Structure formats: structure tokens, C-alpha cells
Structure 1
Amino acid sequence: MLRIPIKEGENIDRALKRYKRKFDKTGTRRQLQARKQFLKPSIENRRQNQKAQYVQGLKDQEQI
């Protein structure tokens, strides 16, 4: 369970924003979505390869 200490006089919106950021970093949301629907390992590997190619392409464009 995530705990976000709220400082005295802190706005609740700011605390919620910190909570959401921490929640995303833990990967809980991705885990829940992955458990909802089963993906074959071959499809999952293909998606990872496509993502890696996309990121590598972006890095190559930055270097040019």
C-alpha cells in the first residue's frame, strides 16, 4: 500500500498528484492491465521488440 505523507498546509491536489506519480512508478497499473487479458508470449515479445526499435529510432534522430 502506498503512503503519501501530507505536509501541513499542503494542497490536497498536490498530494493527489504525488500519489498518482508514485502509483505509476510502481507499475501496479501495468500489472493490473496485463492480468486482465492474456497475451501469447510471442506477441508480447514482438511488442517489446517494436517498442525497442521505436525508441532506438528516436535516439538515432536526436544524434543526427
Structure 2
Amino acid sequence: MLIIPIKDGENIDRALKRYKRKFDRTGTLRQLRSRQYFTKPSVTKRDKMQKAAYIQYLKDSVEI
């Protein structure tokens, strides 16, 4: 449970913005979406390798 202390005279919109930012950083929504269906470990590893290769390709293309 996230607790956001509201200071005296603080705007509710600002407190809501802090709550949303804190909620995003916890990664709760990402975790829920990833748990909706099962992915085999081999598929997870393959996706991770493809992402790493893509990032390396982008870094190499910037250096040239």
C-alpha cells in the first residue's frame, strides 16, 4: 500500500501526481500484465537477447 503524506496547503493535483509517479516506480502494473499469461523461460531469454542485440545495433549506428 502506497502512502503519500499531504503537506498543509498542498494542492490535491500535486499529491495525485506524486502518487502516480510513485506507483509507476514500483512496477506493480507491469508485473500484473506480465503475470496474465505464462511465458516459457526460453522465450523470455530469447526476447532478452533480441532486445540486447537491438540496443547494441543502435549504439553501433550512432558511433559511425
Question: TM range, normalised to the smaller chain?
Answer: 0.7 to 0.9
Alpha-carbon deviation of 1:33? 0.8
Q: Secondary structure at the match of 1:36?
A: coil
Question: Per-residue CA shift, 1:8-39, capped at 9, x if unaligned?
Answer: 11111111111111111111111111111111
For structure 1, the 5+ residue unaligned runs are: none
- Percent of aligned pairs sharing the same letter: 67
TM-score by length of 2: 0.73
Q: Answer with 32-41 or 51-60: which moved more.
A: 51-60
Shift of the 61–11 alpha-carbon distance from structure 1 to 2, 3 Å rule, reads: farther
TM-score, length basis structure 1: 0.73
Structure 2: tracts of 5 or more residues without a match = none
Larger radius of gyration: 2
With over 3 angstroms needed to count, the CA separation of the structure-2 counterparts of 1:58 and 1:14, relative to structure 1, is farther
CA positional deviation for 1:63: 5.3
Check if 1:3 corresponds to 2:3: yes
Alpha-carbon RMSD across the aligned residues, in angstroms, is 1.9
